[in-house]
Structure 1
Amino acid sequence: MSDTPLYGFDKRVSYVENNKKKAIKKDTFKSLLLKIIIIILLLCLLAEAVFYLFIVPAVSVAQVNFSGNRELTAIHLEKIAGLSGKEKWSQINTLEISKRLAAFPLIEEARVSKRFPDKVFIEVKERSPVAISFAQVKGRTIVMEIDKTGTIFRIGSSMTAGKLPVIGGLEFENPRAGMKVHRQLIPLFNKLSILKEKNPALLSEISELVIKQKKYGGYDLLIYPMSVSIKVCTDNILNEDKLRYMMLLLDVMRKTYDENRILELDIRGDTAVCRMREEEHE
């Protein structure tokens, strides 16, 4: 039998095996190349992440944005917050800045937040006066603005004098911005804030509120209306209904009596009492 056919078969087998080896080598090379490319991409992503997470915050100057401020300028707020404008984003301590701002008498509330990679947002809420009062300091009469929490936040000048009721009967030794009224008076200023928000026209009818301390605790109010010279004595419950009732009675009294003869109107009890100048009561 001839060996020729076997020889041809062996050549074909060898050719197929060589092709397989070449294909395997080619696939191996492609796989290796793909792995290398993936590794390079991952390293690039890692380098970029490190750059943005650590390098940018460390070298970027914080971009500070203020909001909510009406009277205080951005420059003034930066000074209060202890910022120079050159701080790096990573150096900003939001809690510390919030404390500094909240400690300033004119600021009621402050919120500080950071946004990656270099933004800082500072939102402030300035105090709003609901009443003014006067005090004697070194022989001079100075004006004080008081907010809804009973905090005296501005002394010596007022941007709202004449537009808000004057509170009399407050006593302070060495008054300074940031002081609070006595805790039993805080509800009164809260009620004034509600009136200012809901019915400012009605609140503007009050010229002055004098706090009259009771002998055994608590207090009453002596109200001096803006439009009439009749003073009104009431309890410490001050609301819209009470003021409407007071204004209605004053209108009736002016039409019924000579205004100059009326000493005061007392509405503390269930029945209103009109006291005349010549008489104890009527």
Structure 2
Amino acid sequence: MSDGFLFLDQYVTVEAEARPHSQKEGILKRITIILAILLGIELFYYVGIVPFLPLASVRLNSVQGIPRDDLLRYAGINESTSYMSLNAAKVSETLRSIPSIASVSIIKHFPNSVDIVVTERTAVAVSLAKVSGKLVPIYIDRQGVVFKVGGEINSALPLVSGLVFDQVVPGIKLPGYLKNFFASLELLEKNNPALLQTISEFRIQQKTYGGYELVIYPANHMGKVRLGSELNEEVLRYMMLVLDVLASKGIQTDEIDFRTGTISYRTKEASSG
């Protein structure tokens, strides 16, 4: 009998120890389920609701002459615009239609913010055109786009003449064959601005059967210089060297022609080659 009582005592003890353990497991399961439900609700809110709510942040760099609110309004972004409703391609296309804007980069950050980086056009040359009977400055970028008409003339920019316009409005593009010329001006400005400052005027002379030639008016020398369509630092350096040599010999030229392999020049009194 004593053995039987001993067995019963052991059984009761084991059962008593197992009961709290099973209760702990039950509590942990309930906590886990509650946490999973809460996490699911939060995930649903984050993924299924927040992207449809108004944007929390729109980061946009400033654009000269255009207030931020006007820029956003033009792009169609307002207080109700959400991550899901914002069409990045359409916004980019709309902003790029503004003449002074060269490119637009849009990065959407899930779930409710967006970065808009606007790159403005930079003038590489200035020209003059008649608008309402008056000569006004027009500003041209490296791609040959007229993006600004009027205002104060920027004398630090190269002056380009000989351009022909059907109409003068911001956003017009000059003929494609002039694109390399304006790109060359930008490169000269970056690499050797002092050399570019030695030129008073670049004149575009249209050729009869298409294309163009350059007529250059140096700032510190009399007369003009005829070039082909190629413009780079080497050409300008060589041109200035020849001008300095002629000036040192007391030769005042009316015109120098660099279009062929042999340099020819004309003085005010006679021609020489």
Partner of 2:257: 266
1:143 to 137, 141, 151: 137
2:183 matches 1:190: yes
- The one-letter code matched in structure 1 to 2:237 is R
SS at match of 1:42: helix
Question: C-alpha separation between the residues in 2 aligned to 1:177 and 1:40?
Answer: 62
SS at match of 1:121: strand
1:202-241 equivalences in 2 (<5 Å)? 202-241=195-234
Q: How many residue pairs end up in the alignment? A: 273
Shift of 1:85: 4.8
Partner of 1:25: 19
Query: Higher mean Cα deviation, 76-85 or 30-39?
Result: 76-85
Shift of 1:202: 1.1
Partner of 1:102: 96
Q: CA RMSD in A?
A: 2.2
SS at match of 2:78: coil
- The one-letter code matched in structure 2 to 1:121 is D
Question: C-alpha separation between the residues in 2 aligned to 1:54 and 1:62?
Answer: 16
Sequence identity (%): 34
Question: C-alpha separation between the residues in 2 aligned to 1:270 and 1:76?
Answer: 55
Query: Higher mean Cα deviation, 99-108 or 207-216?
Result: 207-216
SS at match of 2:261: coil
SS at match of 1:97: helix
Normalised TM-score (structure 2): 0.90
Contact 1:145 1:154 in 2 (8 A): yes
Question: C-alpha separation between the residues in 2 aligned to 1:107 and 1:136?
Answer: 24
Question: C-alpha separation between the residues in 1 aligned to 2:62 and 2:238?
Answer: 37
Larger radius of gyration: 1
Shift of 1:249: 1.4
Question: C-alpha separation between the residues in 2 aligned to 1:76 and 1:275?
Answer: 57
Partner of 2:237: 244
1:201 to 169, 194, 211: 194
Contact 2:101 2:118 in 1 (8 A): yes
Partner of 1:275: 266
Shift of 1:60: 4.6
Q: Which runs of 5+ in 2 are unaligned?
A: none
Partner of 1:154: 148
Question: C-alpha separation between the residues in 2 aligned to 1:68 and 1:202?
Answer: 32
Query: Higher mean Cα deviation, 10-19 or 101-110?
Result: 10-19
Question: C-alpha separation between the residues in 2 aligned to 1:273 and 1:118?
Answer: 68
Partner of 1:3: none
Partner of 1:84: 78
Contact 2:101 2:120 in 1 (8 A): yes
Contact 2:214 2:228 in 1 (8 A): yes
SS at match of 1:142: strand
2:10 matches 1:16: yes
Alpha carbons of structure 1 residues 58 and 244: separation in structure 2 relative to 1, 3 Å: same
Q: Which runs of 5+ in 1 are unaligned?
A: 1-6
Shift of 1:73: 4.1
Shift of 1:97: 1.7
Shift of 1:112: 1.4
Normalised TM-score (structure 1): 0.87
1:74 to 45, 65, 68: 68
Partner of 2:246: 253
Query: Higher mean Cα deviation, 67-76 or 32-41?
Result: 67-76
